[in-house]
Chains A and B, each alone.
Chain A
Amino acid sequence: MIKRQRTLQRRLAVLLLITVPLIWLVSTAVAAYVAHHEVDELYDTQLTLFARQLLSVNMGEHGDDPLPVLPKTKKLIRGGDRGDAEDDDIGVAVWNEAGDLLLSDGKGRHFSFEAGRRGFYTVSGHGDKDEWRLFYLPAPDGSRLVAVGQRQKLRHEVVLKVIQGQLLPWLLGLPVLLLLILWAVRKGLRPLQQVAADLGRRSALDSSPLAEDVPGEVLPMVRALNALFARIADTVEHERRFTADAAHELRTPLAALQVQAEVMALMPDETGRQHALRQLQQGIGRATRLVEQLLALSRLDPLQGLPAAQPVDWATVCGDAMADVAAVAATNNMQLQLQLQWQDNPAQVLPLSGDATLLTLMLRNLLDNAVRYCPPGACIELQAAATGIVVRDNGPGIAPEWLDRVHERFFRPPGQDVAGSGLGLSIVERIASLHGLSLTLANRDSGGLQVRLCKAD
């Protein structure tokens, strides 16, 4: 939980640390491009205008004599405010058709005359290593050629300034922004930390729900956890009760074994020892059966569904269950009549998919009950029909007041001579419900018990 939380926080931080500078970089590049474009447009327009104005000035009275070069501006204004102007960054030059320099200012004297030049040029080497942007404009009659130039650096500086202006707040704001984001993430995840701390402190048997006063994002998780706790508490309680019941139910058979073993050691004569031995064997059989039934039920209990459900072949299932019980009935010399009746074609009987082993166990438990509680000579029928399976006997039945309770775990109607675990019907009911079947017990009008298994609604 804690590890996951750290990752979430780190992920967010890393994501933001990469994305925010990336966005800034792209936006700066776009700004630089746009600024460059705008500055070029502005300055190129100015250079063009400037060249046109120069060309339109009448310099006829001087003929082709060069005009005197003006002194530097700061000399001309004699201490007046010259603003941010930089004489050396611009220059103009006017030539006659022969290429004689008629007028120059700034760096203009370094501009080269080349007949036929017109329009913008970007050149380098006019008294320094900087690039210059030059605009050549010839007069319509070809008598003059004007060149107006500007140091390229000037434009770069403007663009740089624009970018700097944009950069500064970003550089100052970015750490603050990231810190704020980290703080917000941390604060946003605090409810999760709280839940984690609550869970960490929790004892294994605590099934109380977590507090639901958490943000909406965390609430579904907390609710799911609470539902899980409730389910776990149910399971634990169920297991606990089952274990307690099982331990309790094992005490009586164990006491019987202990007592009979001691009796066997005490008996002075062979007859007494034989009697105790028979009792001991009976007690071992009873304890074994109880343990087997407990194990069967403990394996059935946690099943949520049938892992390997296949179409059920009732002919095999009924036949196997019948054969198992018939063998027991024969050894006990009960002279019972066991009958398997097909009321429909075996292929059409109670169509369902399920686990044949479990269904055999289910039928065997029902038949076994009938064999145990029926007097010698009784008739036990297993009827298989499309609508359901019925086990019917003509034994003593179950007293009406106990009919509702016999399926309870470990419950046995009082005053039983027949040994039993009190779990048989619980096993039957569990297997039936796993297969979507319902179990109905009823005393028959003619005497005996009828157990019916049919599809639950």
Chain B
Amino acid sequence: MRILVVEDDPLIGDGLKMGLGQLGFVVDWFRQGREGLAALSAAPFDAVVLDLGLPGMDGMDILAAWRQAGQDVPVLVLTARDTLDERLQGLDAGADDYLVKPFALSEVAARLRALIRRRHGQSVSRLVHGAVSFDPVARTAWLDDKALELTARELALLELLLSSKGRVLSRELIEEKLYGWGQELESNAVEVYVHHLRKKLGAGFIRTQRGIGYALGELQ
């Protein structure tokens, strides 16, 4: 899942990028308000972590601009201000959730997953398709109750496919969901990961829609 982080503090921003990366998210981090504002429409982000005190443009203004433009991406607001007034103001401006500093990285991850799940209309956190199940918190996948050995990218692709049931995902979209800006990407990377997953989960698990992209295979 690809997350946009807009945070001016170098230590918090770096920590979110590294930490969320380890927790299975693909993170793009911007320190300036205006850059963050523009970034959202440039890639298919699943959620946004937005700090309110930003140079250049205030977090609240960015949020208002996004909502005005019809962006409905879930936004988790980070704030150092904890008065009720300020929290309400944030929620009214279109934030989906907020965290008051200092916060735990694991809580940011949990809330992001909950926001994304809610957006996809899922109420349980474990994703299941046939004999394959995936736990986004533990970052573990099972085939017939047997834990699978998958790399981070393979898990990310599996999560993406399981959370997009019934949809065909283009190769470009998969690339954008799996790689942040600035990350190196082989031209046939998606094909390689699809190949690996098919080997481990069965050839019919991923269906190729020629000329369009990939989707979950039909259940037998």
Contacts and interface: CB of A to CB of B under 8 A. Distances in A.
Contacts of B105: 258-259, 262-263, 266
Contact of B12 (A259, A272, A414, A416): A259
Contacts of A279: 11, 14-15
Contacts of A259: 11-12, 15-16, 19, 103-105
B89 to A, nearest CB: 16
A252 interface: yes
A278 to B, nearest CB: 10
Contacts of A251: 80, 100-102
Contacts, number: 82
Nearest to A272: B18
B202 interface: no
Contacts of B103: 255, 258-259
Interface in B1-22: 8-12, 14-16, 18-19, 22
Contacts of B120: none
Given A263-B15, A279-B15, A282-B11, A258 B22 contact: no
Contacts of A266: 18-19, 22-23, 105
B167 interface: no
B208 interface: no
B104 A267 contact: no
Interface in B149-176: none
Interface residues of B, number: 27
A256 interface: yes
A60 interface: no
Given A251-B80, A260-B15, A267 B22 contact: yes
A163 to B, nearest CB: 84
A286 B22 contact: no
A335 to B, nearest CB: 23
Contacts of B130: none
Contact of A258 (B14, B31, B55, B102): B102
Interface string A249-277: 10111111111101100111000100110
B121 interface: no
B106 A262 contact: yes
B12 A256 contact: yes
Contacts of A415: 8, 31-32, 55-56
A404 to B, nearest CB: 18
A414 B12 CA distance: 16
Given A259-B19, A262-B19, A267-B22, A254 B11 contact: no
B15 A267 contact: no
Given A248-B81, A266-B19, A275-B18, A258 B104 contact: yes
A141 interface: no
A417 interface: yes
B22 A256 contact: no
A395 interface: no
A414 B32 CA distance: 10
A414 B56 contact: yes
Interface string B189-208: 00000000000000000000
B18 A283 contact: no
Interface in B93-121: 100-106
A255 B18 contact: no
B10 A417 contact: yes
A253 B80 CA distance: 10
A262 B110 CA distance: 14
Given A251-B100, A258-B104, A276 B11 contact: no
B19 A254 contact: no
B184 to A, nearest CB: 17
Interface string A218-255: 00000000000000000000000000000011011111
Nearest to A248: B80
Nearest to A413: B55
B15 A268 contact: no
B11 A256 contact: yes
Nearest to A260: B15
Contacts of B14: 260, 279
Nearest to B80: A251
A383 to B, nearest CB: 33
Nearest to A267: B22
A262 B11 contact: no
A263 B105 CA distance: 8
A260 B9 CA distance: 12
A252 B22 CA distance: 22
B11 A283 contact: yes
Interface in A342-383: none
B18 A414 contact: no
Contacts of A253: 11
Which of A255, A266, A268, A275 lies at the interface centre, i.e. has the most chain B CB atoms within 10 A of its CB? A255
B5 to A, nearest CB: 11
Contacts of A262: 15, 19, 104-106
A256 B9 contact: yes
Contacts of A248: 80-81
Contacts of B106: 262
Nearest to B18: A263
A257 B55 CA distance: 22
Question: Which of A254, A266, A272 has the most B CB atoms < 10 Å from its CB?
Answer: A266
| Residue among A252, A259, A275 having the largest count of chain B Cβ atoms under 10 Å | A259
Contacts of B80: 248-249, 251-252, 255
Contacts of B78: 255
A255 B12 CA distance: 7
A254 B22 contact: no
23 contacts: A249-B80, A251-B80, A255-B80, A255-B101, A256-B9, A258-B102, A258-B103, A258-B105, A259-B16, A260-B11, A262-B15, A263-B15, A263-B19, A266-B19, A266-B22, A267-B18, A268-B22, A276-B15, A286-B11, A414-B56, A415-B8, A415-B31, A417-B10
Query: Which 4 pairs, one residue from A and one from B, show the smallest C-beta to C-beta distance?
Result: A414-B55, A259-B15, A256-B11, A415-B55
Given A259-B12, A286-B11, 16 more contacts: A251-B100, A252-B101, A255-B12, A255-B103, A256-B15, A257-B102, A258-B102, A258-B105, A259-B103, A259-B104, A266-B19, A266-B23, A272-B18, A279-B15, A414-B8, A414-B56
